[in-house]
Amino acid sequence: MSHILIENFDPLKQQKVEILSADGKIVNADLNPKLDQETLIKIYKTMTLGRVADIRAVQYQRQGRMLTYAPNIGQEATQVGAMAALNKEDWLVPGYRELNMMLYKGVPLENIYLYWYGNEMGSKFPKEARVLPVNIIIGSQIAIAAGVALAAQKQNKPEVVVTTIGDGGTSHGDFNEGMNFAGTFDAPLVILIQNNHWAISTPREIQTKAKTLAQKAIAAGIKGIQVDGNDVFAVYSVMKKATEHARSGKGPVLVEAVTYRIGAHTTSDDPTLYRSDEEVEKWRKRDPIARLKKYLIAKKWWSEKEDELLDAENNKYVQEVFAKVEKSGEVPLEDVFQYVYETMTPNQIEQYESYKEFLERGMK
């Protein structure tokens, strides 16, 4: 059980849940979830693997070996802390910047890399992971997640659905429509806003006049709470309470995790054109991985030597996975037709036949 009481943190008063400071010390012992060593090491290892996979992915894209990629650096605590709070049967309905979430939930890195490589097989996740495919259309995942949550409710299954969205996505109609729909039916849904301060080049302060994004829950008649997104303990505690609330039939919860996007929006973006180095450096000092590492070392649950070995292991593993992905070869154009729907529509069949005729003529 989480010690957090959502009612004690009013988003209108900008009351934010914080437990672990930037220097790795517990600052709110009453809210400390007291996670055991095994769980925290798993969380830390996932966060560090995600960081290495992220850095490598950007490198591969710059080398022309991967398609456009959306970096996650700086958001590891938000993503892994949220997934660590879920039960095995719970669902994740992602957007497109959720590499760490997928890793913790059981999606192989190979799948994730295949997706960004342009291979449709990348979206064929293990069923036991309970993760839906990536949603590139901003906000669409909220309505989808609301539907999945309502289906679980109708079938009397004790499942909670977690979906994520960025700060910019909360200005899209789909966000409000999906949240309102789920709230109306008390669906077991938790919406996690990854407030990373930038919607491509649009800063958070001109995205909305709302003082917090969590307060957008009030209009929908559901609970809302804001948390330090670089504090894995705080994210875990808030998400644990949010999922308990949703699972008990009390309705959805909107969680705003305040974090920062250290890298670019995607590899097609140049953030130096719209934000200062000073701002980025300020947030680097709040690095979620460094914060947890300090805590683990202070507890004597981790060491610098183990960290060096882990980094080498992560880099070796990531390179091996991508080498395997590259061996998959070029993606056949047929995938464009065959994997949009479960079965091709009459119009797609007609287009596919025309495509095959074009290829045959070319060969002659």
CB contact at 8 A, 193 and 213? yes
Strand ranges, E, within the chain: 16-17, 91-93, 161-166, 189-195, 198-199, 202-203, 223-228, 253-258
Q: Is 291 a catalytic residue?
A: no
What's the CA gap between 2 and 304, in Å, rounded? 31
Residue of 265, 286, 291, 295 with catalytic role: 265
Residue of 62, 65, 274, 284 with catalytic role: 274
**Residue 3 burial by CB count (10 A; 0-12/13-18/19+): exposed, middle or buried?**
middle
Backbone dihedral angles phi then psi of residue 41, each to the nearest 5 degrees: -65, -40
Residue of 197, 261, 286, 291 with catalytic role: 261
Q: Is 245 a catalytic residue?
A: no
What's the CA gap between 342 and 39, in Å, rounded? 38
What's the CA gap between 360 and 364, in Å, rounded? 6
CB contact at 8 A, 72 and 54? yes
Q: Is 274 a catalytic residue?
A: yes
Which letter does DSSP use for residue 216 in this model?
A: G
Q: In 10 A of CB 233, how many CB atoms?
A: 28
Distances (CA, A) of 175 to 165, 170, 216, 266: 8, 6, 10, 21
Residues with a known catalytic role: 261, 265, 274
